[in-house]
């Protein structure tokens, strides 16, 4: 099943918006058994849009568009596709009803042009949009299918999950189930080498996705029933764990989860309180945990102690340690973690200190030298790291290592 993505919109074409929709969809498509050869982007121009759709239909089984479903005269995607497919546009009563309901529940008047959003090519089957006014749809014709999705990622992504992937899997006669194993401490190519033969199988599939410092492996199975799919996934997960278990820190059902959010959720569940002493990471560690709603119940505070005076005054780091070992040292990292834990009165204290560059390096303390420490009842652990990359990369990697210390401390479950 060959699928093509046609992204529509002058703002996309002109680079006013980065096309995260297409990247997201492209990463999810293989789960549904789809193969992708082309992505194209065109502006809000009916001729070029129709031409792009005809080209896509000539070389693909399913064409998925994003964008151009709104109420304005620039929103032309549905009309252009109906034109390309030779179908008339019709008012869809179900879509009209939902649209009027959307405005009613929000006590807002509906402008007449909004009704455009209830017109679809004849025979279109609607995809509900709980996050906006424009439903998606699929139109089948001569064995091919055109799928329309709204452009805003907060509408697009949920519709891919709830409607598009199930539709594509059903087209091949079945359901899909996916789970994700997240790894830390192993590089992309090492992980792929370790698991390469498992990645060759057509079903269930194993596919990596790398972000800075982390590798996520997606395990997907297609089968006739959910139970069958799960029973395909279980031995695959076992095989991955047998080879790379030491690097796996979480298994989740959510694609593209983050280590910080996973750690924050486990922390909330544990009921333990935490406080942070950040030097090098400059607030990033706090910000990454705070992204998880509910963390305020366990995160007491963070002190971004950039200056030595702040490390002494706020955290009780000794002036002698700073003079003798320097701010970037195992000793100071330890005193920062213990200091924030003690002064904040929490269960766990975490600290970072290091040299992000480009300035600040010395012959014995190169750019990328980082210490991360965790202090809890009865013990303090300090990790010495030599990180590579640009300034921002070093900070992000330091956050991951500090968060990994937290995950180790919380221990136990592999759940997300």
Binding site for a second copy (CB under 8 A): 13-20, 22-28, 30, 36-43, 45, 48, 52, 154, 209-210, 276, 278, 281-287, 289-291, 293-294, 296, 299-307, 309-310, 313-314, 343-345, 358-360, 390-392, 395
Helix segments in 160-217, DSSP class H:
165-171, 188-195
Instruction: Rank residues 54 and 125 by Cβ distance to a second copy and give the closer one.
Output: 54
Instruction: Rank residues 139 and 346 by Cβ distance to a second copy and give the closer one.
Output: 346
Q: Tokens 């003690």, residue?
A: 342
End-to-end CA distance of the chain: 32
What is the nearest approach in angstroms of a second copy to the Cβ of residue 117? 20
DSSP one-letter code for 415? B
What is the nearest approach in angstroms of a second copy to the Cβ of residue 123? 29
Instruction: Rank residues 3 and 138 by Cβ distance to a second copy and give the closer one.
Output: 3
The DSSP-derived string for 101-114 is: HHHHHTT-PPPGGG
Contacts of 246 (CB under 8 A, 6+ apart): 185
Nearest to 56 by CA among 75, 69, 37: 37
Instruction: Rank residues 42 and 337 by Cβ distance to a second copy and give the closer one.
Output: 42
Instruction: Rank residues 235 and 366 by Cβ distance to a second copy and give the closer one.
Output: 366
How far apart are the C-alpha atoms of 243 and 263, rounded to whole Å? Answer: 24
What is the nearest approach in angstroms of a second copy to the Cβ of residue 166? 19
Instruction: Rank residues 118 and 150 by Cβ distance to a second copy and give the closer one.
Output: 150
How far apart are the C-alpha atoms of 70 and 272, rounded to whole Å? Answer: 47
Q: Tokens 């789960």, residue?
A: 31
Q: Tokens 């649209």, residue?
A: 99
What is the nearest approach in angstroms of a second copy to the Cβ of residue 120? 26
Strand (E) positions, 2-143?
Answer: 2-8, 35-42, 62-66, 89-91, 119-121, 125-127, 136-141
What is the nearest approach in angstroms of a second copy to the Cβ of residue 39? 4
What is the nearest approach in angstroms of a second copy to the Cβ of residue 122? 29
What is the nearest approach in angstroms of a second copy to the Cβ of residue 131? 11
Instruction: Rank residues 2 and 239 by Cβ distance to a second copy and give the closer one.
Output: 2
- Check residue 368 and give left, alpha or beta (phi > 0: left; psi -120 to 50: alpha): left
Burial per residue of 359-383, b for 16 or more beta-carbon CB atoms within 10 angstroms, e otherwise: eeeeeeeebbbbbbbbbbeeebebb
Instruction: Rank residues 23 and 91 by Cβ distance to a second copy and give the closer one.
Output: 23
What is the nearest approach in angstroms of a second copy to the Cβ of residue 235? 25
């Amino acid at each position: 099943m060959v699928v093509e993505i046609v992204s529509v919109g002058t703002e996309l074409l002109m680079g006013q918006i980065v096309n995260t929709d297409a990247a997201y969809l492209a990463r999810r498509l293989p789960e549904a058994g789809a193969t992708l050869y082309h992505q194209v982007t065109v502006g809000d121009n009916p001729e070029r849009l129709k031409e792009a759709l005809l080209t896509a239909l000539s070389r693909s089984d399913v064409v998925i568009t994003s964008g151009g479903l709104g109420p304005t005269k620039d929103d032309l995607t549905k009309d252009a596709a109906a034109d390309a497919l030779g179908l008339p546009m019709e008012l869809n009563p179900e879509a009209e009803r939902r649209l009027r309901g959307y405005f009613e529940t929000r006590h807002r008047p509906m402008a007449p042009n909004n009704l455009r959003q209830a017109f679809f090519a004849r025979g279109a089957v609607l995809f509900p949009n709980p996050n906006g006014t424009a439903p998606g749809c699929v139109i089948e014709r001569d064995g091919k299918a055109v799928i329309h999705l709204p452009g805003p990622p907060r509408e697009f992504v949920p519709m891919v999950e709830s409607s598009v992937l199930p539709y594509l899997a059903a087209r091949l006669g079945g359901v899909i189930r996916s789970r994700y194993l997240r790894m830390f401490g192993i590089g992309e190519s090492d992980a792929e080498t370790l698991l390469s033969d498992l990645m060759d199988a057509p079903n269930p599939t194993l596919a990596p996705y790398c972000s800075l410092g982390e590798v996520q492996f997606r395990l997907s199975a297609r089968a006739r029933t959910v139970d069958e799919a799960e029973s395909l996934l279980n031995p695959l997960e076992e095989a991955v764990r047998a080879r790379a278990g030491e690097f796996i820190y979480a298994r989740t059902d959510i694609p593209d989860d983050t280590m910080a959010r996973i750690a924050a959720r486990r922390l909330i569940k544990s009921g333990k309180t935490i406080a942070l002493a950040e030097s090098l990471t400059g607030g990033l560690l706090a910000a990454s945990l705070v992204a998880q709603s509910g963390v305020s119940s366990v995160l007491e505070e963070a002190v971004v102690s950039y200056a030595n005076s702040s490390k002494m005054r706020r955290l009780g780091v000794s002036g002698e340690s700073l003079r003798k070992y320097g701010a970037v040292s195992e000793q100071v990292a330890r005193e920062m973690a213990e200091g924030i834990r003690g002064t904040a009165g929490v269960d766990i204290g975490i600290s970072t200190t290091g040299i992000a560059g480009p300035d600040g390096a010395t012959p014995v303390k190169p750019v990328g030298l980082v210490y991360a420490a965790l202090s809890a009842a009865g013990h303090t652990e300090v990790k010495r790291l030599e990180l590579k990359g640009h300034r921002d990369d070093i900070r992000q990697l330091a956050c991951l290592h500090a968060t990994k210390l937290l995950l180790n401390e919380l221990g136990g479950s592999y759940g997300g």
